[in-house]
Structure 1
């Protein structure tokens, strides 16, 4: 099966041996994004809402590079360090899906890359 690597210069470069996204048979698999601002190279950590916005913007940059947007997203996975932040993350995340939100799960984990509080990955279909 042939696949195409998708990378956006607007989203943070991978910090390991993976690609930002891979397209196969019209399905885009986007790697987990953290609240790293590509322009400044700094982590956004002022609030959980701002962290979540930065994560969603990074996903948006990658989707756009593949000619897609959030309306193409069919599945998201949200990883959080503290489920007590679920309400704030959920409200911010939900603002990116005006209708027909995708399937998803939210899982509390003990640690995330660069000790961030939230990481989100998604799957989108053209």
Structure 2
């Protein structure tokens, strides 16, 4: 497949979240996140803004780059709608916030090789 210079403004990436349950067993789950796609210059500007605006906020980057999701369910088993309230709730869960940020950084420059 030929590389296209015109790219969509977002990209999707799997977010793998690992959370301990009430029995101390690690539960693994995942969802598909939609992230803002940045040019090299825009990424450098984002990093500079993080230093000024968000360096004391561990989820600042995740809040900035996460713009949607699929395959994420609410506590009652229904599909979790992407909105600012649900986004804030997701990012208030430390393992989820860390996983979102990790997925973004892991996929911003190169896509992982498929097994």
Normalised by the size of structure 1, how large is the TM-score? Answer: 0.26
More strand by share: 1
Normalised by the size of structure 2, how large is the TM-score? Answer: 0.28
More helix by share: 2
